[in-house]
């Protein structure tokens, strides 16, 4: 990874507004409108069992990962995004690894996520970090776009 530190967004942080604004801009650029959390990002982050890590470069967000732990049994990676100009530099892997570690502190047994099978770089990253395909969900994103549900199990020890 070239530079930048992974930072956990704190709900009462002075940077909250600017970081959320940067993330919303990224959401709008990267994800189709119906997949974007741009309109509800602030509310998503205020949920009790959720967290967000981001990397800041040159004063703006280069990438972020959002995760949640809806139960004591599992956690979910709900969003992972890296600016186009910052891709293939290890930021996505660093963010995902950090989110996995955060989820592990909750003593969950499994982390799951959804990904478009056509997003090859994302699929490769998830597989590299040990995620396995659970199943294909028809029409997950839209009537003509499916998703793989992936999971990463932790040892019970």
What CATH superfamily classification does 6-153 receive? Answer: Gcn5-related N-acetyltransferase (GNAT) (3.40.630.30)
Block means of pLDDT (10 residues each) for the chain, 157 residues, are 72 76 82 65 72 88 89 88 89 94 87 92 94 91 89 77
Chain mean position to CA 79: 3
List the domain boundaries for the chain.
6-153
Res 14: pLDDT? 76
3-class SS of residue 131 = coil
Q: Which two tokens stand for residue 51?
A: 């967290």
Using alpha carbons, select from 50, 59, 56, 132 the residue that is nearest to residue 91.
56
Chain mean position to CA 17: 19
Using alpha carbons, select from 148, 103, 104 the residue that is nearest to residue 124.
148
Helix axes 120-128, 91-104, angle to 10 degrees: 50
pTM, two decimals, is: 0.84
Res 35: pLDDT? 65
Report the alpha-carbon distance of residue 22 to residue 9 in Å, rounded.
12
Q: Give the sheet arrangement for strand 6-8, strand by strand.
A: 6-8, 50-57, 60-68, 74-82, 110-115, 145-153, 132-142
């Amino acid at each position: 990874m070239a530079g930048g530190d992974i930072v956990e967004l704190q709900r009462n942080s002075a940077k909250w507004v600017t970081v959320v604004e940067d993330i919303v801009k990224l959401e709008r650029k990267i994800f189709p409108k119906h997949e974007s959390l741009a309109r509800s990002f602030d509310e998503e982050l205020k949920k009790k069992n959720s967290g967000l890590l981001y990397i800041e470069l040159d004063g703006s967000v280069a990438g972020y990962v959002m995760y949640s732990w809806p139960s004591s049994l599992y956690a979910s990676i709900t969003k992972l995004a890296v600016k186009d100009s910052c891709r293939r530099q290890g930021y996505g892997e660093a963010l995902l690894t950090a989110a996995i570690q955060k989820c592990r502190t909750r003593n969950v047994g499994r982390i799951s996520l959804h990904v478009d099978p056509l997003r090859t770089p994302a699929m490769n990253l998830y597989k590299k970090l040990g995620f396995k395909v659970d199943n294909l969900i028809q029409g997950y994103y839209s009537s003509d776009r499916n998703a793989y549900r992936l999971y990463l199990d932790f040892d019970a020890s």
